[in-house]
Structure 1
Amino acid sequence: MSFLEVSGIHVHEDGHTVLHDISFQQGEYEKIAIAGETGSGKSTLLQTIAGLVQASAGQIRFEGKRVIGPHDKLVPGHEGIAYLSQHYDLPQFLRVEQVLRYANMLQGDEAETLYEVCRISHLKQRKTNQLSGGERQRIALARLLSTWPSLLLLDEPYSNLDKGHKELLKEVIHDITERLAITCILISHDPHDTLSWADRILVIKGGQIIQQGTPEEVYRHPIDTYTAGLFGSYNLILADIAREIVSKLGIETQGRDLLVRPEHFKFVSKAAGSLTGFVQKVTFYGGYYDVEVQLSNSSVTARTQAIPASIGEKVYLAVKPENITLV
């Protein structure tokens, strides 16, 4: 029995298909991140899993039991699933301890552990209108977790947070999964949030899952340019001008385009199999440089920690066949 099983979910709203045939399973304690452009259906999927949006077809089973949608339940939601919306709200002008007390269903030690994990113990005497956005979010999260759910759904938890509050929230989410043993599904637009955290990533486009796999699989071998672009920069070399790379590396493209991440190009001394080009532009990004190189019939960007040559000078690039994805 799977911890969470999503089978053939369709959602139609106002004559439009928002989700189309979504199916996946999640194991207990497995961390899943959902990636996709705005409007791809990510939030609707989380809300459907939480029992807050009615599926038009398909079913969701959580810990062996069917999740019932709002059309079939007086109070929408599932007691074992907690959903933190992007638009969370707190009662105004109450002390934090009052907000938490009204929602708390835990014993004393358990509650204190939760408040410690959410980094809010020091805020209990403050009023809700005296809190920063990051503090309000952690209190909303603690209030939600006071029912001690088995599954936590986080909808863009890092949006609109400054760097300090974002890093603190990452620590909180880590402790929620590790110390509190609560399974999580998370949505984020930032590839750094998903690649470093998830055990598995689901990529959604137009309401459908188009790729899923480990962060390394999805990053290194995206199924298309849409997926590639969600997780960072890439070079796309069209099939009809990829002859130099194909001939040098001896790979079969079947007429498909080549996709290579900038860091997979390496500057080398002239050697067999290397590509010859000229430096066109160098851009500094703090920990690395992006170097635009003009090859014989295409331009590519290579990422490096040291400037290999001045603008206009000849350079040689190497790339391993396993770092080339056909799209």
Structure 2
Amino acid sequence: MEEYTYNPIAKSWSLPLVLPRMPLRPPAPGSALVLAPRKGDLLTIRNGEAIPDAWYGTYRHACLVDTTEHRLVLQIPLLSQDPAFGFPSLVRLNCRVANPAEIVARGIGDVSAALYLPLQRMLRQVSRNYDIGELHLAEDALSESVRVFTGDAAIRLRNITVELVVDSDEVLASGRRYREIERETRLIEMRRERHLRMLRKDGAEGLVAEIMEREGPRAAYDIIAGAEREERGELLAAWNKMVEGSSEERESWEFLQAERALRDRLTGESAAPFGGIRSSRLRGSLAADAERVPSRAPSRVRGLPQTRAEDADE
């Protein structure tokens, strides 16, 4: 059974000069009798040993000391690598009185109090090397550091273990916050996966449809118009560069091929979502029919010559 502390001096009393009717008797098993003589050092009598001069006033004081083994628990706060944080710890150990006379001489009436400071000093030498997040590593190192500690001349120790604990309220609060973060993270991942599936399936048009669902038709129209406006601006800038350099000496086939590709981009379907916003664009079966019929229709870009596809190859 675990205890927080105990008093090893079970009984203490003064002795008269003469003991005619109450002679001193040896102690029971699990205890020791410490006698303070009127002159000289303390005398320890264990179970089964005879007491010298038990009938005479040789001794002035007697103490009955508990020598059985006790299982104790000490609560010792320890500092981490950062002094702003600490490790609350529970130190469990088995202890017993090794020298009853030393217990009486030092006046030890609280075993845990006698062990507290030496153990705390020893453990803090180890705990200060670990951060608060390294709780398990610190716990193993602390238990290892006290594994061979056996106490001192008065008290013997064994089976020392160190457990670093966290306040129960803190555990509940941190666990709740952890679950909330995990839940929010999973929801974000689910939304991201849904958006990725939508973009892989429908591309930019799916994204525009999502914006229209959330913000209305006007927002979707502005996005499509903006994309088409940027595309046409880039194409017209490229056309102007080509026109400016058309006077330079170059291979005729190279210039005609580039001109035809750029003209097709300018006069053909827009790369903007849903083909752009131009009312004259072809859609569905009309666009398919237009691809099969040669056309001499004038260009929709002002200033472009009326050129057939066959002429560009000549």
TM over 0.5: no
* Structure richer in strand, relative to its length: 1
* Structure richer in helix, relative to its length: 2
- Structure whose CA Rg is larger: 2
**Which of structures 1 and 2 has the larger relative contact order (alpha carbons within 8 angstroms, sep 6+)?**
1
